[in-house]
Amino acid sequence: MNIFVSIIGLGFLVLVHEAGHFYTARAVGVSPRKFYVGFPPALIKMRRRGIEYGIGAIPLGGYVKIPGMHRPAPSDVDVFFAPALAEAPHLLAPAERIKHSLAEGDMVGARAHLPELEGSIDATKFAPRAERAARRGLRELGDGLGNDAYWRQKTWKKVAIIFAGPGANLLLSVALFFALFLIVGGTATRTVEIVSSDRPAAQAGLLPGDEIIAIGGDPVQADEISGRITSSKGKPVQLTVRRQGQIVDLRPVAPRKDQGAYRLGFRLEAESLGPGAALWQSIRLTGIVTKEIGASLTRLVRGEGREDVASPVGIVQGSSNALDQGGETYLWVLGLLSLSLALLNLLPLLPLDGGHIAFSIVEGIRGRSVGREVYERVSAVGIALVLLLFFVGLTNDVGRLSD
């Protein structure tokens, strides 16, 4: 059950991301063609005001189709209509007229020739494969040549549409942190609230209500406890607690590495915060985590920290473990995952959102669109890097599961 809830949570984060793109696109005058809960193929769909809404068969995340992400190129005609042209050579003349207009940069002329090609296709019977490709080509060219095509928009509009996805995840993380700081509390105390079963803290004999006063014989303050345990690097540590007025030395236990840090498996009580303090702490935490993620990426570029990379398999497993520790812990993890999704998507690599933002800014400075072939080459590099990270993370996760 925990695995299922974790998968749904991860899908929810992706859905929030796509909803950010969708609503911002509509706000700036670009009408998305599709918005799905889950991924196609569609189980249920309906059309309203030119937008197809649906529920996809793959129940994770969401899907938004923004029209005309790239400026149409002559090669698009060949790609989409090659099967139809092979069966109906009489389509060649209208297709060539569209190609010529696109090659000349005459988007108005290409759009004017499109109805002629569509009429010829309507009057011709094709094999199913050629029919599907031709109809898709008409839709894609129509979207790319339309006034609301993404590539036609002003730079600020394009950046706003793309940034809105990571921005929605960023706002969600801040909202989750704010709610948790407000409800659960913020500043930690030295009093133990929860001890996870089958974890080192439970094996050492730590109990809820214990007040941790020393680690390894050295007195500690509340804000030092986590750091002292993490700095042990997995070596046994001994907690000294105050229990019902008595000083008790627990038996030494070795912390376990969990989500990149060594932990014993307990949570401290926290003091309640007011709305203002909760908001400040949520923003502060967002900044701290952002800085740490940036440092982790820097270490990864230098060839360090490979073992900290996780794939969706590891993310789901970590979320499931957080659920074992209670709903509050799971929401903290969900907020951190939402923030991570936002920051990783802002990396200046295609096909990530950060890559599209970078290209939009470059196009704004140049005053014209970057060629499709440049997009494809840069995207190939970005996809290769993303797949490499996925492979490293999956390798790590398989190793952790087999331990």
What is the crossing angle of helices 74-87 and 92-103, to 10°? 170
Q: Do both 192 and 212 map to the same domain?
A: yes
Of the residues 270, 298, 326, which one is the last residue of a structural domain? 270
Task: Concatenate the DSSP letters of all residues of 327-349 into one string.
Answer: HHHHHHHHHHHHHHHHHHHTSS-
Domain count, the chain: 3
**pLDDT, position 375:** 80
Residue 1 lies in a domain: no
Residue 59 lies in a domain: no
pLDDT interval class at 243 (50, 70, 90): very high
**pLDDT, position 312:** 54
Task: Concatenate the DSSP letters of all residues of 137-175 into one string.
Answer: HHHHHHHHHSTT-GGGS-HHHHHHHHHHHHHHHHHHHHH
Using omega within 30 degrees of 0 as the cis cutoff, is the peptide bond preceding 89 cis?
no
The residue ranking higher by pLDDT, 395 or 142, is 142
Residue 377 lies in a domain: yes
Half-sphere exposure of 123 (CA within 13 A, CB side): 8
Q: Is the pTM above the cut of 0.85?
A: no
Residue 23 lies in a domain: no
Q: Do both 139 and 204 map to the same domain?
A: no
Q: Do both 357 and 391 map to the same domain?
A: yes
Of the ranges 65-69, 72-76, 324-328, which one carries the lowest mean pLDDT score? 324-328
Q: Do both 333 and 354 map to the same domain?
A: yes
**pLDDT, position 270:** 77
Half-sphere exposure of 90 (CA within 13 A, CB side): 10
The tens digit of pLDDT for each residue in 16-59 reads: 999 999 999 999 999 999 999 887 788 899 998 889 999 888 77
**pLDDT, position 390:** 65
Q: Do both 240 and 261 map to the same domain?
A: yes
Q: How far apart are CA 239 and CA 214, in angstroms?
A: 6
The tens digit of pLDDT for each residue in 123-161 reads: 999 999 999 999 999 999 999 999 999 999 999 999 999
Q: How far apart are CA 389 and CA 397, in angstroms?
A: 12
Residue 82 lies in a domain: yes
The residue ranking higher by pLDDT, 243 or 308, is 243
Given a cut of 70, whether residue 213 has pLDDT beyond it is yes
What does the pLDDT average to over 99-108?
92
The residue ranking higher by pLDDT, 388 or 402, is 388
Q: Do both 281 and 227 map to the same domain?
A: no
Instruction: Report the chain's mean pLDDT, rounded to a whole number.
Output: 85
Determine the structural domain holding residue 119 and report its residue range. 74-147
pLDDT interval class at 178 (50, 70, 90): very high
Q: Do both 140 and 212 map to the same domain?
A: no
Residue 303 lies in a domain: yes
Beta bridge partners of 51: 48
Of the residues 270, 305, 328, which one is the last residue of a structural domain? 270
Q: How far apart are CA 256 and CA 247, in angstroms?
A: 25
Other Cβ atoms within 10 Å of 316 Cβ, number = 20
**pLDDT, position 311:** 47
**pLDDT, position 233:** 84
Q: Do both 205 and 88 map to the same domain?
A: no
The domain that holds 197 is classified in CATH as 2.30.42.10
**pLDDT, position 176:** 93
**pLDDT, position 24:** 97
Of the residues 147, 174, 208, which one is the last residue of a structural domain? 147
The tens digit of pLDDT for each residue in 268-304 reads: 887 778 888 889 889 988 998 888 878 777 776 666 6
Residue 26 lies in a domain: no
The structure tokens 């229990």 sit at: 243
Residue 88 lies in a domain: yes
